[in-house]
Amino acid sequence: MALEVDIRGMPKKYTPEQFWELYKSLPQELKDALFAEETGNDIYEICKRNGIEENLAEIVEYTGRVLLGVLQPADFQEVLEKELNLEKELAKKVSQEINRFIFYPMKSSLEGIYKKEIMPTAKPTKITPPPEEKPPTPPLKDVYRESIE
């Protein structure tokens, strides 16, 4: 039986067996967040503030996919744009709020399941090459040039 896939090639719907297999491997913090009333309340408030209550169920689902480890947090905004047909600025705002209130507090757990940094806390520093040895400075007066007067 073939599963219907979304823009990332992920199954659109998971069977209960697939969900529980993914769930079992999660850190406790993410397990708790998946079913926390506070998580649902935060998503509802974000949708309400942005006037997209009609997309609540889908946003809950995609937020859950991030917490399950099947949707990269970096792809969350793009999925909101393409799957829910949200305008780019609205998707960006919703994504930023969900990152701030839901994903960021669980940053270390999410980094653990995605094996990379979710949101850098500082701007990357510019790497400068080691200083090269400079040739000796020539004398200030060039004896081969005539003066211009």
User: Residue written as tokens 């850098």?
Assistant: 120
| Tokens describing residue 3 | 């599963």
pLDDT in tens, 83-111: 999 999 999 999 999 999 999 999 988 98
SS3 132: coil
Whether 21 shows a pLDDT value over 90: the answer reads: no
Task: Give the start-to-end residue ranges of the domains of the chain.
Answer: 16-114
User: Residue written as tokens 């780019």?
Assistant: 88
Q: Say if residues 110 and 31 touch (Cβ distance below 8 Å).
A: no
Average pLDDT over residues 117-142: 55
pLDDT at 96: 95
Total residues found in the chain within this entry: 149
Which of 129 and 58 is assigned the larger pLDDT?
Answer: 58
